[in-house]
Amino acid sequence: MAIKRVLKYGEKSLREPSKEVHKVSRKITDLVNDLLDTMYAQNGVGLAAPQIGVNYRVFVIDVTSGKESLNPIVFINPKIIKASGSVISNEGCLSFPEAYTDVKRYSDVMVKALNSNGKPFVMEAKDGSLLARAIQHEFDHLNGVLFIDHCVNRFETDDILKKYNLPPIEPDKLIEE
């Protein structure tokens, strides 16, 4: 497939809610392959469709990124069906090059989704693992939510965004937990 341009914070698609997939058609499997190619090209752990300008509820994750064997996981129409615990950790996003900040996440999640063949599956990710965080991060993208909306310190985060020439925090988007 193809390596696509990753949208940067400030571009419209990143703040738009994405549409459900009604059929895992050729168009959707092409999208999945573009997401995987683009994620691996950027050495990312995850990538969501709106990040390449396509507002469908699809994202991909590979927490083995950089290691010898790849393990891509495809999520279509994901739903987080259980979430508990909380953990603060440093997070980044391919749409925010070089900018990292501390965000608060659930430590354990259970997600239900369709795979690239349209088959339903349930996956559990626990103990604040990279997979647990990646699922929540990518899921948020499908609702136009960005990791900075969960930041622990908005002033520090604004300084980081400024340093990397990214637009400031949108105060009305901040999520109070």
Residue 74 binds Zn ion (CB under 5 A):
no
Task: Measure the CA–CA gap between 3 and 86, rounded to whole angstroms.
Answer: 35
Residue 61 binds Zn ion (CB under 5 A):
no
Residue 72 vs 118, nearer CB to Zn ion: 72
Min. distance of Cβ 26 from Zn ion in angstroms?
A: 26
Residue 148 binds Zn ion (CB under 5 A):
no
How many of the chain's residues bind Zn ion (CB under 5 A)? 1
Residue 45 binds Zn ion (CB under 5 A):
no
Tokens of 89: 């950790």
Residue 17 vs 120, nearer CB to Zn ion: 17
What's the DSSP call for residue 27? H
Enzyme catalytic residues: 138
x/- contact string, 85-124, with Zn ion (CB under 5 A)? --------x-------------------------------
Min. distance of Cβ 23 from Zn ion in angstroms?
A: 26
Q: Which residue has the tokens 């339903």?
A: 120
Burial tier of 75 (Cβ tally within 10 Å: 0-12, 13-18, 19+): buried
Min. distance of Cβ 154 from Zn ion in angstroms?
A: 18
**Measured torsion, CA atoms of residues 129, 33, 123, 70, in degrees rounded to the nearest 10:** -50
Min. distance of Cβ 175 from Zn ion in angstroms?
A: 15
Residue 53 vs 118, nearer CB to Zn ion: 53
What's the DSSP call for residue 11? S
Give DSSP secondary structure letters for 110-160: EEEEE-TTS-EEEEEE-TT-HHHHHHHHHHHHTTT--GGGGBS-HHHHHHH
What's the DSSP call for residue 172? G
Residue 169 binds Zn ion (CB under 5 A):
no
Residue 24 vs 93, nearer CB to Zn ion: 93
Task: Measure the CA–CA gap between 59 and 114, rounded to whole angstroms.
Answer: 11
Note the residues at the interface with Zn ion (CB under 5 A). 93
